[in-house]
């Protein structure tokens, strides 16, 4: 039985996460980053990926996840 999480890094395609970060921020409609409450760090490339992208919530496809990562979040990565 596969019971691992379904983490998939949109940056490098890695499937191993090494930490989950929960943050609480005040939501600012002009800053999509502020709405992210959970980030997952990729073991392979060490990027911090929003959990909804890394685990592809709401039926997000791998392709859509990658696109959203690149368009919205990647340039704002803190590292
Ligand atoms: Zn990665």
In a domain, 23, yes or no: yes
How large a percentage of the chain has pLDDT more than 70?
Answer: 89
Q: What long-range pairs does 31-40 form, CB within 8 A, spacing at least 24?
A: 32/72, 32/73, 33/73, 33/76, 36/73, 40/7
Per-residue DSSP letters for 6-44? Answer: ----TTT----EEEEEE-----BTTBGGGG--EEEEETT
In a domain, 31, yes or no: yes
In a domain, 10, yes or no: no
In a domain, 11, yes or no: no
User: Ligand 1 centroid to 27 CA: how many Å?
Assistant: 26
In a domain, 5, yes or no: no
In a domain, 6, yes or no: no
User: Ligand 1 centroid to 22 CA: how many Å?
Assistant: 19
User: Ligand 1 centroid to 26 CA: how many Å?
Assistant: 27
> Based on the structure, what is the number of domains in the chain?
1
pLDDT in tens, 26-63: 888 888 788 888 999 999 999 999 999 999 999 999 99
Task: Answer whether 5's CB lies under 8 Å from 59's CB.
Answer: no
User: Ligand 1 centroid to 25 CA: how many Å?
Assistant: 24
User: Ligand 1 centroid to 46 CA: how many Å?
Assistant: 6
In a domain, 59, yes or no: yes
């Amino acid at each position: 039985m596969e019971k691992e999480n379904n983490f998939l890094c949109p940056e490098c395609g890695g499937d191993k996460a090494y930490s989950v970060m929960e943050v609480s921020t005040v939501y600012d409609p002009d800053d999509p980053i502020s709405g992210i409450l959970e980030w997952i760090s990729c073991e392979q490339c060490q990027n911090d990926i929003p959990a909804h992208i890394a685990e592809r919530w709401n039926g997000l496809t791998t392709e859509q996840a990658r696109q959203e990562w690149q368009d919205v979040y990647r340039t704002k990565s803190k590292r």
